[in-house]
């Protein structure tokens, strides 16, 4: 049986630990000048070296030639505390997840009273320290505050905030971080060289992405890929295992969007669905690729230094894709894809979502191929009930009829369809879909639904939706309800793909007195309608987070210091 990679490559001294210089440098300095504190708190995300560092620190402290910043590796203590050593009597590792009570703390206190069996210090490493109960911590407080000279404590935790403040204030706190992608990539490549494993181009960046900055997770993934390969980790297998969109499919999508070939673009969407890819992952992958292309377009030849792990062919390909897009289109595409990603939820059919995304990317830039695109988008609209004369959602008949129409052969029809872009929703459609929108609101937030269920659609123009409130009181409640306008707006967006602004209408109070006068069709009797001018507008403005990713993306690119801290 082979030991797991992350265990075989577990660092034995601080120099071998990657990506944590902010911790290792001061620790090594303290060891060199013999100013080691009696208690430490190591915090940070899982799998980035907290427990390993605690063991290294113990090894440094108890080395026969120490305390030293680099353990000798030869003395008894060093051998016992090496990665395949049996462990030392004087270094006690406690998993606080299962030993978190007062009794455990008392036992620990007792053990700390004894002198070390052989080495300089008795060192207690408390893993998952946030699991210790407040009572447990209180029992420990005294000894952590004034430990015997031969005792050292190292607490390791993913949640330092849960370690009680009185303990925290008696420790030196070292925050560990996720390892930046570039550094991780270099490290994994070193491991592969040491393991004599060949990795196909393009695989490593995927492993780094999946590992999410955790060395342990990244090594485990690499381990799994190596185990499932025969001497060479192939790209196709890695993509399938890690669940990413295959490069070929991604290229097809990007090429189709770049040259605004809507037929191919919708074809890709179909392939994604038919082949069982995760739609959300696909959108993420497209966004990631667009980001890379923007980067290549902006940085040019320097892109290779920024896009670690990308081959020359990939850079060339992205350069040609960038030129097909054009800068403005590229930005527009990234913005739309990003908006689509944040709007994705379980409520809408993933396929519709992908199609809407494709449609939105294709529309504005369409020039010579505009007619063809719009005609096809209209087909898409009809299928989801947005287009002119929409039939109820789910009725396939009209969609088939339209699909059967040879688009290119009937330009007249297509030209007529041109004004109907995605987003031009009619009042009738809005009214028809209103019950469904309210149902969505109900599933999202009961609180929002309670203030929204009595509202009626009065008018809809461009993106301003006029809704009737039964009374001033209802309007106030709606405005006061936390997030209700946002929930309603999101539900409308999911239904139609448009971001609306709300305009409230109130019926004149006098008219409401007699129950019979409850006006069903307000439009028919406009004189009884009081318009409350856009009081609600400010808080109903565009969602703030729209395009945030795109913006920060561009800023990152313009500053030319991206990727590393992602």
Contact residues for Zn ion, defined by CB under 5 A: 63, 71-72, 75, 78
| Residue with smaller CB distance to Zn ion, 74 or 106 | 74
| Residue with smaller CB distance to Zn ion, 11 or 71 | 71
In angstroms, give the least distance from the CB of 73 to Zn ion.
Answer: 6
In a 3-state reduction of DSSP, which class is residue 387? Answer: coil
Structure tokens at 126: 């408390």
CB of 56 within 8 A of CB of 89? Answer: no
User: How many Å apart are CA 148 and CA 403, to the nearest integer?
Assistant: 82
CB of 74 within 8 A of CB of 103? Answer: no
User: How many Å apart are CA 16 and CA 7, to the nearest integer?
Assistant: 13
In a 3-state reduction of DSSP, which class is residue 399? Answer: helix
In angstroms, give the least distance from the CB of 38 to Zn ion.
Answer: 21
Q: Residues 6 or more apart from 78 whose CB is under 8 A from it?
A: 59, 63, 64, 71, 72
In angstroms, give the least distance from the CB of 564 to Zn ion.
Answer: 36
In angstroms, give the least distance from the CB of 149 to Zn ion.
Answer: 21
What phi and psi values does residue 498 have, to the nearest 5 degrees?
-120, 145
Angle in degrees, CA 518, 521, 525, rounded to 5:
85
Residue with tokens 């210090």: 121
In angstroms, give the least distance from the CB of 90 to Zn ion.
Answer: 13
In angstroms, give the least distance from the CB of 81 to Zn ion.
Answer: 9
| Nearest alpha-carbon partner for 42 in 221, 236, 172 | 172
| Residue with smaller CB distance to Zn ion, 91 or 250 | 91
Structure tokens at 190: 């070193």
| Residue with smaller CB distance to Zn ion, 71 or 309 | 71
| Residue with smaller CB distance to Zn ion, 55 or 383 | 55
In angstroms, give the least distance from the CB of 76 to Zn ion.
Answer: 8
| Residue with smaller CB distance to Zn ion, 78 or 219 | 78
Task: Tell me how crowded residue 165 is: count the other CB atoms within 10 A of its CB.
Answer: 9
CB of 519 within 8 A of CB of 507? Answer: yes
Residues paired with 467 in a beta bridge? 457, 504
In angstroms, give the least distance from the CB of 215 to Zn ion.
Answer: 25
CA dihedral 396, 402, 404, 406 (to 10 degrees): -160
| Residue with smaller CB distance to Zn ion, 85 or 543 | 85
| Residue with smaller CB distance to Zn ion, 116 or 202 | 116
Longest Cα–Cα distance of the chain, Å, equals 96
CA distances in angstroms from 265 to 93, 225, 284, listed in the order given: 56, 31, 16
| Residue with smaller CB distance to Zn ion, 66 or 160 | 66
In angstroms, give the least distance from the CB of 79 to Zn ion.
Answer: 8
């Amino acid at each position: 049986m082979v030991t797991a990679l992350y265990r075989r490559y577990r660092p034995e001294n601080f120099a071998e630990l990657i990506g944590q210089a902010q911790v290792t440098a001061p620790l090594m300095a303290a060891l060199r000048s013999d100013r080691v504190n009696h208690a430490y708190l190591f915090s940070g995300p899982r799998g980035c070296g907290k427990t390993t560092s605690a063991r290294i620190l113990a090894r440094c402290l108890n080395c026969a030639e120490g305390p030293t910043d680099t353990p000798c590796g030869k003395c008894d203590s060093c051998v016992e505390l090496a990665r395949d050593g049996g462990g030392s009597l004087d270094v006690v590792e406690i998993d606080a997840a299962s030993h978190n009570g007062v009794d455990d703390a008392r036992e620990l206190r007792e053990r700390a009273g004894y002198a070390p069996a052989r080495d300089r210090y008795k060192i207690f490493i408390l893993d998952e320290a946030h699991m210790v109960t407040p009572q447990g911590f209180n029992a420990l407080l005294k000894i952590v505050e004034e430990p015997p000279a031969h005792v050292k404590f190292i607490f390791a935790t993913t949640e330092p905030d849960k370690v009680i403040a009185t303990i925290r204030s008696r420790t030196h706190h070292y925050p560990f971080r996720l390892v930046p992608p570039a550094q991780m990539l270099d490290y994994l490549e070193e491991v592969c060289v040491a393991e004599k494993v060949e990795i196909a181009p393009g695989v490593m960046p995927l492993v780094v992405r999946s590992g999410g900055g955790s060395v342990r997770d990244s090594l485990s993934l690499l381990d799994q890929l190596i185990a499932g390969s025969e001497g060479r980790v192939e790209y196709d297998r890695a993509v399938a295992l890690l669940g990413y969109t295959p490069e070929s499919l991604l290229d097809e999508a990007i090429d189709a969007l770049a040259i605004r070939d809507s037929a191919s673009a919708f074809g890709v969407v179909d392939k994604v669905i038919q082949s069982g890819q995760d739609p959300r992952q696909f959108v993420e992958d497209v966004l990631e690729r667009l980001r890379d292309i923007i980067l290549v377009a902006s940085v040019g030849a320097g892109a290779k230094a920024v896009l670690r792990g990308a081959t020359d062919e990939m850079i060339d390909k992205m350069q040609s894709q960038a030129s097909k897009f054009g800068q403005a289109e590229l930005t527009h595409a990234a913005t739309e894809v990003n908006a689509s990603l944040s709007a994705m939820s379980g409520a809408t059919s993933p396929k519709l979502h992908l199609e809407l995304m494709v449609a939105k990317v294709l529309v504005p830039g369409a020039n010579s191929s505009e007619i063809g695109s719009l005609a096809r988008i209209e087909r898409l609209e009809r299928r989801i009930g947005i287009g002119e004369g929409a039939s109820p959602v789910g009725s396939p008949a009209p969609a088939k009829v339209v699909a059967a129409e040879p688009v290119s052969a009937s330009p007249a029809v297509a030209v007529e369809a041109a004004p109907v872009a995605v987003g031009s929703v009619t009042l009738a459609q809005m009214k028809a879909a209103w019950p469904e929108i309210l149902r969505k609101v109900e599933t999202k937030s009961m609180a929002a639904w309670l203030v929204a269920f009595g509202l009626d659609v009065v008018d809809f123009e461009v993106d301003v939706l006029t809704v009737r409130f039964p009374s001033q009181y209802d309007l106030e409640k709606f405005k006061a309800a936390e997030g209700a306008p946002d929930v309603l707006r999101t539900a409308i967006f999911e239904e139609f793909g448009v971001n609306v602004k709300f305009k409230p209408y109130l019926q004149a109070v006098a008219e409401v007195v007699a129950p019979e006068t409850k006006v069903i069709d307000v439009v028919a009797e406009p004189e009884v309608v009081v318009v409350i001018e856009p009081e609600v507008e400010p808080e109903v403005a565009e969602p703030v987070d729209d395009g945030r990713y795109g913006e920060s993306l561009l800023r990152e690119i313009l500053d030319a210091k991206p990727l590393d801290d992602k």
